[in-house]
Chain A
């Protein structure tokens, strides 16, 4: 059963990821990205990260991809671009070599050090079928609001800075030279 879930979710992830880089229409690329994000959410559930799976669907698929689609529509780039011509001939072979090299090196590192990963924490609390189903959320909340509370507060500052900065970046200044 676990194997079936893994294979199906891995297929979703890889098909979506390849779709992002080969689709010529940016809208199709964004929809392929959604497929990948849902596959990753399935993987999160399979790894006992239930809260993160929900956040993945809500924040990534629900907010970030919608933001991408908004910008695509706003800029009017929702047309297919010509991917067959390549002004810089050596780029694609080089990119393939770099990609395969990254994959090969990381896989070699993972396989060679697979016995070095040892248990060091107290274990993840797994939801049982009779008791509460929110043990993962409770454990994550103790971690975020306990050990990492300073980082959490800094994150809120980061979000405010990002929002203010974006408004400032995209604002049209009144009386300036016309943009278009």
Chain B
């Protein structure tokens, strides 16, 4: 039990967890075809980066990391609003479209 109490999570643990979360999000963007679920996976990756920012802010004793997370959250909210607007306007034109169907810009 004393061994358990001695093992306190360090910054490295948080950074490794953030890396795993980022990897899961990246795999999700690569394998899913529903544009909504791909968006959710992008949110997963943003949260992984936020987690590493907060962990480093504590480790380095600098509030700037938390400020950055604040701005990342604002930009993420704006990005979701615009992205969902685009998805709604695409789906209205072609119901049930997946990411494969939207290839008009393919080179």
Contact = CB atoms under 8 A, between A and B. Distances in A.
Interface residues of A, number: 85
A26 B34 CA distance: 8
30 contacts: A20-B40, A21-B41, A26-B36, A43-B14, A43-B51, A47-B55, A47-B57, A60-B47, A64-B76, A64-B77, A67-B80, A67-B84, A68-B80, A68-B84, A77-B91, A95-B27, A99-B23, A107-B16, A114-B10, A120-B61, A121-B61, A121-B62, A140-B66, A144-B67, A148-B71, A151-B71, A155-B71, A162-B79, A169-B82, A170-B89
Interface string A86-115: 010001101110111011001100110010
Interface string A103-135: 100110011001001111111100000000000
Contacts of B22: 102-103, 106
Interface in B58-89: 58-64, 66-67, 69-71, 73-82, 84-89
Contact of A117 (B59, B85, B87): B59
Contact of A14 (B24, B39, B79, B85): B24
Contact of A68 (B36, B79, B93): B36
Given A81-B34, A151-B71, A106 B19 contact: yes
Given A10-B17, A17-B44, A169-B82, A59 B73 contact: yes
A21 B27 contact: yes
A40 B93 CA distance: 37
Contacts of A100: 23
Interface of A is mostly: helix
Question: In the complex, which range does the number of interface residues on chain B fall in?
Answer: 35 or more
Given A29-B37, A87-B100, A119-B61, A20 B70 contact: no
Interface string A58-69: 011001100110
A98 B78 contact: no
Given A10-B17, A64-B77, A169 B27 contact: no
Q: Which of B20, B63, B74, B89 gathers most chain A CB within 10 Å?
A: B63
